[in-house]
Amino acid sequence: MTTPQEIDEPRVHNPPRRGQWDPIVVDRGSMVFEPRPSVGRVPPDTICDGWSTPDFTVRLASIRGDAHRHAGRPRQDHAEITLHPPTGTVLFAVADGVSSAPLADIGARIAASCALSAAWRMLDESGTVDWAGVVAAAARAMLRDRDHGLRAGETPADVERRLATTLVAGGVRPGPAGPLVSVVQVGDSGAWLLQDGAFRPILRVKHGGGGPLSSAVEPLPRVPVTLRAEEVPLPPSGVLLVGTDGIGDPLGDGTGLVGSLLAHTLAEPPPMLGFAHVAGFSRETFDDDRTLVAVWSRPGRPR
Q: Which of 65, 107, 238, 270 binds other proteins (CB under 8 A)?
A: 65
Q: Which one-letter amino acid corresponds to residue 70?
A: H
Q: What region, left, alpha or beta, does residue 187 occupy, with left being phi > 0 and alpha being psi -120 to 50 degrees?
A: left
What's the closest the beta carbon of residue 220 comes to other proteins, in angstroms?
Answer: 13
d(C-alpha 296, C-alpha 172), whole Å:
10
Q: Which helix (H) or strand (E) holds 137?
A: helix 131-144
Nearest to 279 by CA among 252, 257, 255, 258: 258
Binding mask 188-227 for other proteins (x = CB under 8 A): -------------------x--xxxxxxxx----------
Binding mask 109-148 for other proteins (x = CB under 8 A): ----------------------------------------
Rule CB under 8 A: say whether 30 interacts with other proteins. yes
Stretch that binds other proteins, among 36-44, 63-71, 121-129, 228-236 (CB under 8 A): 63-71
Q: Which of 46, 253, 272, 273 binds other proteins (CB under 8 A)?
A: 253
| Buried/exposed 203-239: b ≥16 CB within 10 Å, e otherwise | beebeeeeeeeeeebebbbbeeeeeebbebebeeebb
Facing residues of 12 across strands?
A: 26
Q: Which of 15, 102, 156, 256 binds other proteins (CB under 8 A)?
A: 256
User: How many other C-beta atoms lie within 10 A of the C-beta of residue 272?
Assistant: 16
Binding residues for other proteins, per CB under 8 A? Answer: 10, 27-28, 30-31, 65-67, 70-71, 76, 96-100, 104, 166, 207, 210-217, 245, 249-250, 252-253, 255-258, 283-289
